[in-house]
Structure 1
Amino acid sequence: MADFPIDFAYLVGSWCAAVLWGVYGVLFGLCLWLVFNHGQLHPVQLTAMIALYVLATCHISLDFARLIQGFIYTDSGLDRIYFFSNVALHINVAKDFLYITSLILGDSVIVWRCWIVWRKKWLVVALPILMVTGEAIAGYVAIGKYLSPELATDTSVKPWGTAMFSVSLATNVLVTSLTAGRIWWISRTTNKLMAGGGTRSFAAITLIIESGLAMTIAKVIEFATFQIAFAGTVNMQAIYIMFELMPQLFGIVPTVIILSIQVGVTSSKAYSAGNGPRSFPRSNPYGSNSGEPNISSFGRRTPGNFPIVSVETNTYGDHHGSEIELGSKLGSKNSKLPNLERKTSTDSSLA
C-alpha cells in the first residue's frame, strides 16, 4: 500500500472541506430564506441548524490557519510533518473539540427527530440517548488525553476513538431504522383506507433512509481509515481527510432534508400568497365540486374530490403536543372514515 503522509492528507482534506463548506453555505442561506419567508421550523431544529453551521465554519477557519502555519512557517518537509503530527497543539485540540461537538449535536438531532416521530416516547429513545452520551464521553476523554501532562500515544487514544466512532455509527443506523419504521407502520394502516397516502409517506421514508445511508457510508469510511491510520503498519493518513470533511457533512445532511421539505411546502399552490409564513390554505382546499387538484406537502398532486391525509405533517408536526397518530385512529374495525381537515403545517421535523 502506497504512503499517504499526514501533510498531504491535510492539504487534500482542507481543499475538499472548502468545497463542501461553499456548498453548505449556499444550502444554509437558501434554507434560512425559505424558513423565514415561506415556512416555519421548530425552534430546536432552527437552533441546531445554525449551531452546526457555526461549528463547521469555525472548524474550517482553524483548518486554514493550521495550513498556513504548517506550509508557510516551516522550513522543511520533516518540520511540516512534525507540525501536523503534533496533536497536542492548542489549535489542533480546538479543531478536535469542534469536531466532536458537531458529531454529538448531529446525532442528537436525529435522536430528537425520532422522539418526535414516536410521539415523545422516552422509552423508545432511551438507548439512543445513552449511546450519544457514551460517544460524547469517549470523544472528550480522547481530547483530554492530548492535554494531559503525559504525552498521549496512539495506544492510549485509539480505544476511545474506536468507541466514539463505532457508537456513533450504531446510533445512526438504529435511529434511522426506528424513524423510518415508525412512518412505515403508521402509513401502512392509512394506505389501506385512503388513496394517495402511500406516495407521500414513501417520499418521507426515502428521504430519511437516504440521509441516514449517506451518513452511514461516511462514518464507515471514517472508522476504517481511523483503524488503518492507528494500526501503525503503513503510513496511510487518509483519516485526516475525513476529519476535515465530517463537520461539513454533519450540517449538510440535515440542512438538505429541511430544504427538501421547505421546497415542497412553499411550491404548493394550496397556500396563500403574501408575506410571512404560508400556513393558511386557500378557500375550498379540497376542491369540492371544482375538481381542482391539490398539492401535497411534498408538492405532489392529489385528486381534488378526495380528502387529503398527510402522513408527514400528522406524524412530524409537533403543535403543542396535539398531533394525532393517524394509524391508531384508523386501526379499529368499527371506525368510520373520518372527515379530516388537512393540516397545513410547515413545521418540518424531518431534519
Structure 2
Amino acid sequence: MANSFPFESIYSIQGVLLAPFVAVGLALFLLGFYILLFGLVVYFLCVRHTGAKRKLHLWWMTTLFVLSLSSALMDMGLEIHTSALGFQTATTQDLDPLLDWVTINLSNIVLNFLPCILYALASCIADMILPYRLFVLWDSVRPIIFIVAMLVLFLTNAVGFVGGVTYAVGCFPNQPLSVFIKGADIITGYFIANAINTFLLTFIIAGRIWWLSREPRRLMGREVDRRYNRIIAMVVESGLLYSASVVVHVSTRQSLSTLGFPLNLSGLVYLMVGIAPTLIILRTSLGLTESAIPDSRMISTLRFGEPPAATEAGQSSDLRTVGFQQGPLGGSDDLEAHKVERSEMSTP
C-alpha cells in the first residue's frame, strides 16, 4: 500500500507511544468524570427528583451511559492493541504482525465496526432530547418543527450507519482500498453533520427560551434576568461541548501530515455524546434550573397600581396573573415549558 508518510515517522517509538498515551489518557479522564456524573444523576433522580418524567430521564441517561461506555471501551482496547503491535513493528522493523491484524483479522474488523454503530445509537438517543425540547417550546407549529427536526437527525444518523458499514466492509482483505477510504470519508462527513445539527438545534432552543422569558425578566428585574441567562448558557454549553469535541476529532483525523503520527480521539466523542445531556440533567436535579423561577407564592398575582381617577370613575382595573407551568421534562425542559399567561379580570 503506497503511503506518503515515512516509516520512521508513523512507526517510531514516539509515534506508537505518544498517540495512544494522549488518546487513551484523555478518554480515561473523561470516562472517570462520566462515571461520577452518571452516579450523581442516578442518585439525585431517585432521591430528589419528583417530576413525572423521572423514569424517562433514567432510561435516557442509562441507555446513553451504556452505549457511550461500551463504544469508548472498545475503541480504547483497539487503540491499545494496535499501538502494541505498532511498538513491536518499530522495534523489530517487521510489518507482518501489524498488517495481519489490520487487514485479515476479524476481531479488528468487529472492533472497528461496533463502536461506530454504538455511537450512532447513542447519538440517536441524545438527539431525541433536542426534538422533544422543540416540540415543547412551539405550540402552534409543533408538528412541523418536530417532524423536520426528526427527519434531519434521522437522515444524519442513517448516513453514519452507512458509513460504519462501508468502513467495516472496506477492512476485509478482498475489498479494494477505495471502499475503505469511502467509508472513512462518509464517517467524517457524518461527524461534521452531527456537530452542525447539534450546534444549530441548541442555539434554536436557547433563542426560544430567551424569547419566552422576556416577560418574566421584564416584570421581575435583574435577578431573574441573570438566572434566565444562566439557564440559556447551560443549554448552549451542552451543545458546544459535544460540537467542539467532534471538531477536534475531525481536525486530528485530517492533520496526520502535521502531527507526524496518527492521533485517534474517537473515544472522546463517544463519551461526550453522553456527557453533554447528562450534565444538564445533573444540574436540573441539583435545582439549578428551578432556581431560575421565583417562588410562585410571590408572583402568582401581580396587581398594578390603580389611578385614583380611574377608581372614582368606576373604571375596571387590570389584574394580570403570571403563571409558570412546569413542562413534562426536567432540567432545561422545565424552563422551556414555562409559559407566561395573562388573564384580564374585571372588578365591579
Q: CA deviation at 1:133?
A: 1.3
133-142 or 96-105, which moves further after superposition?
96-105
- After TM superposition, the structure 1 = structure 2 runs for residues 76-115 of structure 1, keeping only pairs within 5 Å, are 76-77=89-90, 78=95, 82=99, 86=103, 89-115=109-135
Q: CA deviation at 1:193?
A: 3.1
24-33 or 299-308, which moves further after superposition?
299-308
SS at structure 1 position matched to 2:291: coil
TM-score by length of 1: 0.70
> What's the counterpart of residue 58 of structure 1?
70
SS at structure 2 position matched to 1:264: coil
- Aligned CA RMSD, in angstroms, stands at 3.8
Matched, 1:141 2:128: no
Matched, 1:18 2:28: yes
Q: CA deviation at 1:254?
A: 1.2
Match of 2:344 among 324, 335, 345: 335
Q: Retained in 2: the 8 A contact 1:35–1:262?
A: yes
For 1:315-339, what per-residue CA distance to the aligned partner results, in whole angstroms no more than 9, with x for missing partners?
64359xxx97523x24xxx7369xx
Name the amino acid aligned to 2:41: C
Matched residues in 2 for 1:236 and 1:92: separation?
19
> What's the counterpart of residue 312 of structure 2?
none
Q: CA deviation at 1:201?
A: 2.2
Aligned residues: 295
Matched residues in 2 for 1:176 and 1:324: separation?
16
> What's the counterpart of residue 298 of structure 1?
291
> What's the counterpart of residue 186 of structure 1?
212
Matched residues in 2 for 1:313 and 1:79: separation?
67
Matched residues in 2 for 1:73 and 1:36: separation?
45
For 1:41-94, what per-residue CA distance to the aligned partner results, in whole angstroms no more than 9, with x for missing partners?
523332121111111221233235435543557743345754775596212211
Sort the Cα spacing of 1:64 and 1:208 in 2 relative to 1 into closer, same or farther, 3 A. Answer: closer
Name the amino acid aligned to 2:212: I
- After TM superposition, the structure 1 = structure 2 runs for residues 78-227 of structure 1, keeping only pairs within 5 Å, are 78=95, 82=99, 86=103, 89-119=109-139, 121-148=142-169, 150-151=175-176, 153=178, 155-195=181-221, 197-227=224-254
Matched residues in 1 for 2:152 and 2:45: separation?
31
Q: CA deviation at 1:26?
A: 0.8
Matched residues in 2 for 1:25 and 1:116: separation?
30
Any gaps of 5 or more consecutive residues in structure 2? 303-321, 331-335
Q: CA deviation at 1:216?
A: 2.3
- After TM superposition, the structure 1 = structure 2 runs for residues 179-328 of structure 1, keeping only pairs within 5 Å, are 179-195=205-221, 197-229=224-256, 235-238=260-263, 240-241=264-265, 243-264=266-287, 297-298=290-291, 305-307=298-300, 314=325, 316-318=327-329, 326-327=339-340
Matched residues in 1 for 2:198 and 2:147: separation?
14
Q: Percent of aligned pairs with the same residue? A: 22
Q: CA deviation at 1:123?
A: 1.3
Matched residues in 2 for 1:83 and 1:245: separation?
27
> What's the counterpart of residue 30 of structure 1?
40
Matched residues in 2 for 1:312 and 1:207: separation?
23
Name the amino acid aligned to 2:138: W
Matched residues in 2 for 1:308 and 1:217: separation?
44
> What's the counterpart of residue 318 of structure 2?
none
Comparing both chains, which one has the higher relative contact order based on Cα–Cα distances under 8 Å and sequence gaps of 6 or more?
1
TM-score by length of 2: 0.70
> What's the counterpart of residue 348 of structure 1?
none
Matched residues in 1 for 2:161 and 2:296: separation?
54
Name the amino acid aligned to 2:328: G
Q: CA deviation at 1:301?
A: 7.3
Matched residues in 1 for 2:60 and 2:10: separation?
35
Matched residues in 2 for 1:192 and 1:131: separation?
36
Name the amino acid aligned to 2:344: S
Name the amino acid aligned to 1:326: K
109-118 or 134-143, which moves further after superposition?
109-118
Matched residues in 2 for 1:313 and 1:303: separation?
8
Matched residues in 2 for 1:52 and 1:63: separation?
16
Q: CA deviation at 1:156?
A: 1.4
Higher share of residues assigned helix: 2
Matched residues in 2 for 1:20 and 1:336: separation?
55
